[in-house]
Amino acid sequence: MAALALQPHPRLSLLARLAVLLAVGLWGQTTAGAYDATVCGQMGYTIPFNNMTFNADAWNPDVKGFQCISVQDSPPAFAATWSWSSNPEMVHSYPHVKLTAPGLPTPLSNISALVLSAQWSMGPGSKPRPARVVDHDGLTNDGTSANVAFDMFADRDVAKALNEQTAETEIMIWVGKFGHAEPLGFDANMTKTCFTQTIGDAEFVLYQGHNERGTDVFTWVASANQTTFTAEISPLLQYLWRNGLVSAKSHLGLVSFGSEAYHSEGTVTFSASEFDMDLVAGAAPKLAVGHLCSLAASTNPPQWLFSSAIIMSATLLYLIS
């Protein structure tokens, strides 16, 4: 067993440290497995023999709270333990693994297939649940708000596509959603937009918004929690560029899998394993990407729909002709 590198965030309270120690199994019989490293705050860890990178990514921490991530090198897996009890509407951290593929970055129009997979579990406390187990009641009792998501970045400029801070477009795929976590552009008066795509047996609904940096964020939200996910998701990308919502010349640069942590009254542990990405580069097949819905189909269409409807219709006509 490899040595444990415990590097808590300097701002961690004693209680938080205790939770981390419990999470990594130094005390008691509470652990499900042995981890090779634990990092907290904004620290990352890279598996030495394959360069797979993990990050606790507490990019928006609150004084009251912490984020740690424990990583197992082989087979790769992680458990992310956190607590954020103030500012419930904000994302505080995104513990994640970076997924890599030889073909990246690649133009969106040069993605023949993109298979993403992962399995995960979530529940209150510091003890990771077995794969695919979600303690729904426990999370509800703690008022937990979080998602489980693949996060991708794209830009017309290849270099910018490789940097979360500079990429003009972010594309998320939410395969889990708890509490009050909602995608950017979500409107409580219109729980469902009329942009949907079905992948396998999951229906995804599209939302669009802007983050605080002005990045254009497109979020596909699964209509049910997918604790085991394996899907060829290129139709979700094609929907965006074939309909002119994202430039077809955009390059997909970064892909990660993790959980955005908003809020919980107690400690939460999200764990993940069997995450993978398989990219087949080459001209995108012309898929049936779904029609842009008519404005009338939506009771309260978001503003951006009006402004881009004409451009989109023109694009569709061009594609059809």
Ligand X SMILES: *[C@@H]1O[C@H](CO)[C@@H](O)[C@H](O)[C@H]1NC(C)=O
Q: Which residues bind ligand X (CB under 6 A)?
A: 50-51, 106-107, 110, 136, 177-178, 187, 189, 222-225, 281-282
Nearest alpha carbon to residue 230 among 285, 176, 277: 277
Least Cβ distance, residue 175 to ligand X (angstroms): 8
Least Cβ distance, residue 222 to ligand X (angstroms): 6
DSSP label at residue 187: B
**Residue (12 or 279) nearer to ligand X, CB:** 279
Least Cβ distance, residue 13 to ligand X (angstroms): 28
Q: Which residues contact 217 (CB under 8 A, 6 or more apart)?
A: 169, 170, 171, 172, 183, 184, 185, 208, 209, 210, 211
How many Å separate Cα 64 from the centre of its chain?
Answer: 24
**Residue (188 or 288) nearer to ligand X, CB:** 188
Least Cβ distance, residue 48 to ligand X (angstroms): 8
**Residue (110 or 298) nearer to ligand X, CB:** 110
**Residue (12 or 80) nearer to ligand X, CB:** 80
> What's the token pair of residue 63?
């004084």
How many Å separate Cα 179 from the centre of its chain?
Answer: 16
Percent of the chain that is helix, strand, coil (3-state, to 5): 15, 40, 45
Nearest alpha carbon to residue 168 among 244, 96, 246: 246
Main-chain phi, psi angles of 232, to 5 degrees: -85, 100
Least Cβ distance, residue 136 to ligand X (angstroms): 3
Least Cβ distance, residue 146 to ligand X (angstroms): 10
**How many angstroms separate the Cα of 293 from the Cα of each of 1, 194, 212?**
55, 6, 28
**Residue (178 or 262) nearer to ligand X, CB:** 178
Least Cβ distance, residue 251 to ligand X (angstroms): 8
CA dist 247 and 208 (Å) reads 15
**Residue (110 or 117) nearer to ligand X, CB:** 110
DSSP label at residue 103: T
CA dist 282 and 58 (Å) reads 36
**Residue (162 or 281) nearer to ligand X, CB:** 281
